[in-house]
Structure 1
């Protein structure tokens, strides 16, 4: 595989983990930019990054950069993605990839016009376990899929100024943990839901703190999603058919699942991949796309997930001024 030169925008915690994954797959990282130059320099020193840029425009103009990984707060993803695409860079952006479907559609149109790759850094789409589970479902292992159930509850510090609850930073559960839950859901459904019912409990700041979502598609498959930002719940996804059900715990980076069979209650364990290599799988998938190997099949899923999030938030009457 040829060398792909990565640039990193936003030297925070997830970026440090992702940088390590780039090093393990690629060997090195070409450049980094941070809002605070000192923080970017410290990041570069710790992780052996070759270049520190003082402006994003400097990174985006650098012809030696092939792809930009964006790990800023999601409220500013759109502007960085658009700037990078205009400069001719491929982009892998952390979830949620944009604030809404309108922004994502603009990004997709620009990427297509420039023959560039843009993708969302969603671990679920690249974990080997999910490819294996989907293959087993297609083989009829649990019969006809009828129901997907996902719960994800996180108990964040009740601080109205932090990014989880601050509306100025696009806080709330949907654009944070909801992206994982709905990505799991859409991955296992045969088609996009066409019916969505939901209710929400809002935080004192006005963002979504808890929500329940019920969906159905034209294939008569249903899904129920429960989200909470002030109530800890397991990260659990269930895919249920008429001959058994699959349970995936810690589903964002899972490497193991169980199948419980309806006929006799027996349980089978399914394993694939390694949880600790979740970000490496993302790096390799993006490298492959840039080098012309494979198809960018995850972007349509990201687009459909964003549409579901838009629909839910519209029903909650929850929008942000910068949308």
Structure 2
């Protein structure tokens, strides 16, 4: 078998595997999003409303946001923009939108646009969200919401002044497994042990995540599990003071193949391992183990949940794989929403750890209340 034949067989195998994981429709969107056939226009069912603007037309916007919106509401997109002209054109062609001479400002000022979906590079998220809120749009902002404390201060102040609606793209709290666990764990005010082991994508040295302004893989990836930890802790009460420890296996790329350990004044233990030693065939793979009181639970890649509590045993399978994207993306149209303060708190924690990684620090004493004062104090309104 030649190398090209082997590659073709591997690609066919991946498509078939993805269909067993995500179903037919999502897999097709993923394929088209990767291939981006020039000039290809899908005959998608058009919604009577075309009121969604998109900034950032990469794979996530195309295959995840695009699929979730289309499956629920049909083709509801009105206009799109990306700094990469080819990505913008292929997104616009597929969804039947105007392709030429479109800027981010055009999306912001388009009178048709009521909902603004932002899935651009991480460093630009806050700027676009602030502009969108000032333009009176309902904003869906992919993670991370900010990559610096200054950005988060500006976003916080804009939300306060405009009273605008904004939703974050942290999706794990919306997964079926986590929502099911909530029924078992809500209000249990006991120390939580949470262990997350994540096998992430291999990123080359030229990948845009590596640019200093993008906030490291802590903002790009690890923020997901920090946000999940904060969300689960908020089911009862979120301890204020935490000791953070980081361990790096490589001094050059400290933001992968690393361990983050958080311990609270109450005795909570959060452990997050991000490894990227080889490309996972099925995409990011994660195993999450939980113990609180007499409850033990395991989430296996958001395809299976097992719960033990005393003599009770419950097993649940989820197909298609449910990482929570669909429900998170549809927040602007739903009553099921995250509390924004919760997202701000998890972002403060994420930014602290990102600074530790950049500086090569191994230990830090963190307080949610003290960090949050940076958003609400006089300096944030200057």
- 1:64 equivalent in alignment to 2:120: no
Match of 1:241 in 2: 292
- 1:84 equivalent in alignment to 2:125: no
The CA deviation string for residues 51-104 of structure 1, in whole angstroms up to 9 with x for no partner, is 766111111011210111111110221221122222221211111121034322
Distance (whole Å) between structure 1 residues aligned to residue 251 and residue 343 of structure 2: 29
Structure 1 residue 304: Cα displacement = 1.3
Match of 1:165 in 2: 210
In the alignment, structure 2 segments of 5+ residues that lack a partner are 1-47, 361-382
Structure 1 residue 271: Cα displacement = 5.0
3-state SS of the aligned residue for 1:102?
helix
Q: Check conservation: 2:52, 2:78, Cα contact below 8 A.
A: yes
Structure 1 residue 205: Cα displacement = 5.5
In the alignment, structure 1 segments of 5+ residues that lack a partner are none
Distance (whole Å) between structure 2 residues aligned to residue 202 and residue 163 of structure 1: 22
Q: Check conservation: 1:66, 1:89, Cα contact below 8 A.
A: yes
Larger radius of gyration: 2
Change in 2 beyond 3 A, CA 1:145/1:169: closer
Distance (whole Å) between structure 1 residues aligned to residue 285 and residue 330 of structure 2: 29
Distance (whole Å) between structure 2 residues aligned to residue 103 and residue 235 of structure 1: 30
Q: Check conservation: 1:147, 1:222, Cα contact below 8 A.
A: yes
Match of 1:301 in 2: 342
Q: Check conservation: 2:93, 2:99, Cα contact below 8 A.
A: no
Distance (whole Å) between structure 2 residues aligned to residue 240 and residue 175 of structure 1: 26
3-state SS of the aligned residue for 1:246?
strand
TM-score, normalised to structure 2, is 0.70
Q: Check conservation: 2:88, 2:99, Cα contact below 8 A.
A: no
Match of 2:267 in 1: 220
Q: Counterparts in 2 of 1:258-277, with a 5 A limit?
A: 258-261=306-309, 263=310, 267-270=313-316, 274-275=320-321
The CA deviation string for residues 272-298 of structure 1, in whole angstroms up to 9 with x for no partner, is 78536843312332213xxxx46x534
Distance (whole Å) between structure 2 residues aligned to residue 195 and residue 207 of structure 1: 21
3-state SS of the aligned residue for 2:316?
strand
Distance (whole Å) between structure 1 residues aligned to residue 154 and residue 132 of structure 2: 13
In proportion to residue count, which structure has more helix? 2
Change in 2 beyond 3 A, CA 1:87/1:271: same
Alignment RMSD (CA, Å): 3.0
Structure 1 residue 216: Cα displacement = 2.8
Q: Counterparts in 2 of 1:138-149, with a 5 A limit?
A: 138=186, 144-149=190-195
Structure 1 residue 44: Cα displacement = 1.6
3-state SS of the aligned residue for 1:208?
coil
Structure 1 residue 217: Cα displacement = 3.2
Match of 2:164 in 1: 116
Change in 2 beyond 3 A, CA 1:108/1:238: same
Match of 1:188 in 2: 232
Distance (whole Å) between structure 2 residues aligned to residue 311 and residue 210 of structure 1: 18
Task: Tell which deviates more after alignment, 116-125 or 126-135.
Answer: 126-135
Distance (whole Å) between structure 2 residues aligned to residue 196 and residue 227 of structure 1: 19
Aligned residues: 304
3-state SS of the aligned residue for 2:219?
coil
Distance (whole Å) between structure 1 residues aligned to residue 179 and residue 90 of structure 2: 38
Structure 1 residue 301: Cα displacement = 2.1
